[in-house]
Amino acid sequence: MNILLKSAKIIDKDNEVLHLKTRDIHIKNGVIAKIAAKIEPESKTQVIKHKNLHVSIGWFDSSVSFGEPGYEERETIENGLRTAALSGFTDVILNPSTHPSPDSSSDIVYLKSAATGLATNLYPLGNLTMKADGIDLAELYDMKNAGAVGFYDYKLPMTNANLLKVALQYVQNFDGLVYSFPLDTKIAGKGIVNEGEVSTKLGLKGIPTLAEELQIARDLFILEYTGGKLHIPTISTANSVKLIADAKKKGLNVSCSVAIHNLVYTDSVLEEFDSIYKVMPPLRTKKDTKALLKGLKDGTIDFVTSDHTPMNIEEKRVEFDNASNGTIGLESAFGSLNQLLDIETVITLLSKGRERYGLKSPEITEGEAACLTLFNPNETYVFTEKHIESTSKNSMFIGAELKGRVYSTINNNQHIKND
């Protein structure tokens, strides 16, 4: 690799010297060789020029699902990581949503080996319990040594409070990160959408916000008792933000994330009974989206995620009650978030979170490995199926007007370019 980025505006709030400066960046053999106001290209140097070119450190997504192994028809690891790269992401955390789901060191080794040599780095989560059945803890220590960055029974709440207590105590021996999905199944019952005016009007069984908040309150009490590191993925309600803010004020080691679609859409879109909008946690109300955005801005919510969840067409194009939860979101993540917040905040949110998983954050500095996302923050367009690189096409953003285009990513001495 020998490329020269010309007149790239750098967005990097942590870099006081280069933030908001326009510079040429010379990359040789995957390493940033030089950053200067003007660099003349050497022979055999590929010069990259784009309209309104901006550059940041490569983006990070803490909640991505593919399909391999078991559901390769939804998405393979190879194509999933290619999709991530084309969407601006150089590092992703892979959910344990496969069949079988990973609960041993050999499972983690398989996932990591399947991603070897690709531009986007994959960091797998392992099951918290064996077969994600909530009965016995999985091989947490062995999976950590094999490369698992956290432990999660994907989208399944830990109903056994004592088991969560034991897990939080046990992982402190090796600095493990425990996930707990925020849902009390007894309160949620057979609900499939947010409980409120819309669910009543449509005659759909509702999930009250209490189902999320009660579980979070329980988990935070346990964390306060045990210590350890807890992550609460994809919160969706205003009161959840308050509960976590209060816990952080107490000094508890807790983090949380929010799915971008829970920031963009409310349950009002359900009036057409389109199952593309069926997700877990469900789309909530305008009050909730406002509180979630405020929580992002003040740091209560640690990071955003696409919560990318490929599903076969036959799993979505059925009656609403029977449809599977989930939407893909990698390809639309930047363009949708960029409609809501200023570009500096957007890039900060898309770049942060690695440290929570023990990963080093890249830097835009001479001598450092090039881990970059190239983009135009101002281009607007209507998102259509042609913008989808995933094998599955279940995106709730089809037809939405988005703002911002990813040109390419540079990572692991590879340059992955959009057409």
Supply the residues annotated as catalytic. 307
3-state secondary structure of 7: strand
Burial of 247 (0-12, 13-18, 19+ CB in 10 A): buried
Determine how β-strand 401-411 pairs with β-strand 414-417. antiparallel
Strand partners, 255: 231
Closest residue by Cα to residue 388 from 265, 292, 269, 276: 276
DSSP sequence for 27-73: EETTEEEEEES--PPPTTPEEE--TT-EEEEPEEEEEE---TTT-TT
Give the chain's end-to-end CA distance (angstroms, integer): 19
Determine how β-strand 2-10 pairs with β-strand 22-28. antiparallel
**Residues near 290 by Cβ (< 8 Å), separated by ≥ 6?**
238
DSSP sequence for 205-248: PEE-HHHHHHHHHHHHHHHHHH-SEEEE-----HHHHHHHHHHH
H or E stretch at 188? helix 185-188
